[in-house]
């Protein structure tokens, strides 16, 4: 039950404003042909909680990716926000809407997530996977409201592209005519590793814009201290999708006096996939991963 004594009115107003903003987002989503499980959602305890966590899904996925992990944090007393990244989650998984992504839309999306999270909880955690991890890093770098940023296998560069060429690769993808690529060019839409709610392929233009955001985070980290209070960077030594070297470089840039940077590595021997979160892969090991993530995220 919400405490309504005078000292708590501001918290009530913050929470109601956040709820209203989410309701407005959901109303806009009703106008789109979205997969029902991919809509923006809120798991809340009816008032501003001590802690809130926003989960940012990966490029080509949707909020359903974090559905089971979100429930675990809700049980721990968190208010949990699961926003949908721009142009994701359409029922037509082959329409290539990700061509419309820009770095500016990603930044605006991230800022809105942070604004909403402040109304949902006193201590704000922003947790993202892959492309969502890049947005989480941007928010840690730029928003003082972020108490804890968690970047899981952040997409700062492709594992197949040498780190020094990432900037050029990003510019080429953003400026050349867009192309659609299947995650699995052989099995295509029948790829068993693509979740039923995720896109089976990607837009090269959208990928370039994601990379550009990662480049912007790295440049900002080189120039100045992050605005956020603490960050946890989690990598997977078995990851064949993202460039862990670029992630290590960014961590090194952040590790300056007074900056609280923590890291954790899932060892190669565990043979984890790039997407260590989504429970809908046949090769998933969430029984191993989730307890580690929850322990790391909930430490003081």
Residue 32: pLDDT band (50, 70, 90) is: very high
pLDDT value of position 93: 86
If one compares 193 and 270, the residue with the highest pLDDT of the two is 270
pLDDT digits (tens, 9 = 90+) for 187-215: 998 898 889 999 999 999 999 999 999 99
- Give the integer Cα–Cα distance in Å for 151 and 137: 6
Task: Write the pLDDT tens digit of every residue in 59-90.
Answer: 999 999 999 999 999 999 999 999 999 999 99
Give the three-state DSSP class for 136: helix
Least confident segment among 10-14, 101-105, 270-274: 10-14
Domains of the chain: 6-298 (3.40.50.1820)
| Low-confidence winner among 73-77, 103-107, 252-256 (lowest mean pLDDT) | 252-256
Q: pTM above the 0.85 mark?
A: yes
What mean pLDDT comes out for the span 273-288?
93
Whether 9 has a pLDDT exceeding 70, the answer reads no
């Amino acid at each position: 039950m919400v405490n309504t004594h005078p000292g708590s009115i501001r918290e009530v107003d913050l929470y109601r404003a956040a709820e209203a903003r989410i309701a407005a987002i959901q109303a806009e989503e009703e106008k789109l042909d979205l997969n029902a499980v991919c809509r923006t959602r809120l798991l809340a305890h009816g008032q501003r909680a001590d802690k809130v966590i926003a989960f940012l899904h990966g490029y080509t996925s949707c909020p359903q990716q974090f559905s089971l992990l979100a429930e675990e944090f809700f049980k721990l007393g968190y208010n949990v926000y699961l926003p949908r990244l721009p142009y994701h989650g359409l029922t037509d998984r082959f329409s290539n809407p990700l061509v419309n992504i820009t770095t500016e839309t990603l930044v605006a999306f991230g800022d809105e997530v942070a604004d909403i999270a402040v109304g949902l909880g006193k201590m704000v955690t922003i947790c993202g996977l892959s492309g969502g991890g890049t947005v989480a890093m941007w928010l840690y770098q730029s928003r003082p409201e972020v108490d804890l940023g968690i970047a899981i296998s952040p997409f700062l560069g492709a594992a197949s592209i040498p780190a020094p060429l990432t900037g050029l690769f990003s510019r080429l993808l953003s400026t050349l005519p867009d192309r659609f690529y299947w995650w699995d060019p052989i099995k295509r839409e029948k790829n068993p590793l693509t979740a039923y709610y995720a896109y089976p392929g990607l837009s090269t233009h959208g990928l370039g814009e994601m990379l550009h955001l990662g480049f912007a985070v790295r440049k900002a980290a080189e120039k100045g201290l992050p605005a956020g209070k603490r960050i946890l960077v989690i990598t997977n030594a078995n990851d064949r999708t993202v460039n862990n070297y670029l992630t290590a470089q960014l961590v090194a840039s952040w590790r300056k006096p007074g900056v609280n940077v923590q890291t954790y590595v899932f060892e190669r021997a565990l043979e984890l996939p790039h997407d260590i979160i989504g429970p809908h892969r046949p090769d998933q090991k969430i029984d191993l991963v989730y307890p580690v993530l929850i322990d790391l995220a909930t430490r003081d």
